[in-house]
Structure formats: structure tokens, C-alpha cells
A = this chain, B = another copy of it.
Amino acid sequence: MKSSSTGPSFSPLDLSARPDKVRSMLFESQSLVVTDPSNVQWLTGFTGSNAIVYLDHERFVLLTDQRYQEQGPLEIREAQSPAEISISKNLIEDVSKLAKTEIINVDANSVSWETVNQLRERTGTELISSSPLKTLRAQKDQFEVERISFAAKVADKALTDTVPLFSENVSEMDVAAFLDNKIREYGAAGNAYKTIVASGVNSSKPHALPTTRRIVQGDLLIVDVGAVVDGYRSDMTRTFVIGEPSKIQQEYLTTVLEAQEEAVRSLEPDMPCAELDRRCRSKIEEAGWGESFIHGTGHGVGLDIHESPAINGRSEEKLMPGMVVTIEPGIYFTDTCGVRWEDLYEITETGARRLTLSAKSPQA
């Protein structure tokens, strides 16, 4: 068998400054209780399935259970996190004992109602919703960009190897299996999300899962694939035509590509995300297909496949240096077909850098 044992090697993560970044957004008399697994990982480096982080201006504690009594301290040390670790039989009970502040902050979008009720009951303290980590996580540091960029390259290479299959009477499931295997061969831990391989009529569903349908001449074929490397994800989409594109297929492909290019020209710090969405959408509206662009223009990517910022008409966020975002316009015609182009960009001080390097020559 082919060995992937070497794996990628990166500059080691250094999370030592993160707790103080969060503290700078917390009043003196307040604490933060973190339950979302990606937030826990961002703060401490810990990847286990059961954890709570407690942070105030004095303490910074990762609570987890006995199953992680070895893995917990190890991951914290490797990530250079200053977190203390507490092995607990009842995380909520133990975090409540730590929370001596006047107010506890939690992220209402990720914390469960049950956790809120229990914290309130056990501490007698006021809980408020705030999400300092959402903002902080949106701007990646060099260690994070390095990993996301590597994940993007893995997906690029895996897709390049997969394209020759398309003309070989394979099914969508065959293509997805081959592609996902290649992603691991190139050093990723796995897929960033369920790979989409949607051919012919299936391409009209933006989130189609691979079926047993075989790819045939004349199909449009959407492949949406990402890798996960050291916890960080990538995200890209390519649309292929099997054989010569028809006139209308070519128009779809060109229109969506032009919409993407319009958005990419606008990528720079301080650009409002809603305005970015509007500019991208306007190109598709001009072609008369505005109704068929049935999702947002893009989203942030990092430890989660969808994170801040949201790039859609309702977004109140702005681009900032260090953000890593997708630009992914698409159009979908019920029971007929769809087209989507998606690239990953890092926002820089002056503009943006493309992290997805796969070609956009649709003919397979």
C-alpha cells in the first residue's frame, strides 16, 4: 500500500496569546464559559468530544472527563496553551464552582438552553450572550493560514488526479470515494465536509450528495470538496462539462465566473460583506438569472467549514485582514442543472490572496 506516514509538518501552533485577547474583550467582573467544540479547540488546542472552557481575568481552565486525562494535557502542551486542566465527573457542576464573577458570558448561538439553565441555577449569577471568539476567530494568524492553505493544496492535487475518471463511465459515488481517498493520501486527516459530486440533473441541488448515477456525455458536473489539516479546513467547487459544452452551458459557466471575478476584484479590508454579495449578485441578475442564485456569495472558513464572516445580503460584517473566505456564486435550474465556482481567499492588508489553485477549465 502507498504510505502517507510522513504527513505534513507545520510551524507548531502557538495559542499562548489567545486567552489575553479574549480577556481584553471581557469586563473585569465578568467571565466567559465556552462550550462549542471549535471554540474550545481555538482557545486551548484540545480536540476531545466533551469539554468546557472557563476564562476570567485570573483563571483559564479546560474541564474535560477522565477519558481525556492523557490526551488533554498533551494537546494543551503541544499548542502552547497556558490553560490549566481539570478532569471532572460533572463539567457543569465543576465549572459552576469556578464562576465567581458577577456576570457569565456565553455564546447564545452555540450554548444549549439546558446548559444555560444549569449554570444559572448552580451559580445564581446573571448570564449574558456575547461572542468574542466569533470575531477573534475570523482573523486568522499565520499558523492558521498555513494550515488552511495546505488543506486547499491537498484538495487541488486530489481533484487533479480525479478529473481523468470523469470520462470513464463512473458513478458520482465512485468519484467521491476516489477523491476522498486521494485527499488522505496527500496528507489530510480527512474531508472538510461531505464531498459533493453532482452530475447532470443532480447538479441543480446545491447540496446534493453523491448517488449511483453514472456520469455521461453532455453532463454538467459539480464537484465541491475540501480537506481538513490539523483541524483547519478548505472549501472549493469546480463545474465540469463532459464533452463539448453546449451554447447555454457555456453561458451559465461564463456568467457565474464573471460574477465570481466581480466579487474577487472587491476583496479588500473594510469592504462590507453585504456590498460584496450585492456586486457578485448583480452580475448574475444582469444575465437574467438572479432568481437562480439561491444562496449567499460566501463565508469564512477555519476550524469550522462555515464561520464568520457571512457574505450575504443580510450580513453586517466587514472584511478584515487575515479573514479566509469563500467566493462561490452558483445558479440552479430545477430538474435541469446547476453551475458553481468556489475559491478560497485570504484577505490581506491590501487585497486578497487566492488559496485555491485548481484550474477553471471546465471541459473534462
Interface: A109 (CB within 8 A): yes
Specify which of B190, B206, B207 is in contact with A194 (CB 8 Å cutoff). B190
Interface: A3 (CB within 8 A): yes
Interface: A326 (CB within 8 A): no
Interface: A124 (CB within 8 A): no
B112 touching A117, Cβ below 8 Å? no
Specify which of B1, B180, B208 is in contact with A184 (CB 8 Å cutoff). B180
Instruction: Tally A residues with Cβ within 8 Å of B.
Output: 56
Indicate with 1 or 0, residue by residue over A206-239, a CB within 8 angstroms of chain B CB atoms.
1111001010000000000000000000000000
In whole angstroms, how far apart are the Cα atoms of A71 and B209 in the complex?
10
Interface: A353 (CB within 8 A): no
In whole angstroms, how far apart are the Cα atoms of A6 and B211 in the complex?
10
CB-CB under 8 A from A170, the residues of chain B are 1, 3, 5
CB-CB under 8 A from A168, the residues of chain B are 1
**Sample of 18 further A-B pairs with CB below 8 A, known A5-B173, A66-B294, A113-B113:** A1-B165, A1-B168, A4-B174, A5-B170, A5-B214, A6-B212, A49-B207, A67-B207, A67-B295, A68-B205, A69-B334, A70-B204, A70-B205, A71-B205, A109-B112, A110-B112, A177-B181, A177-B184
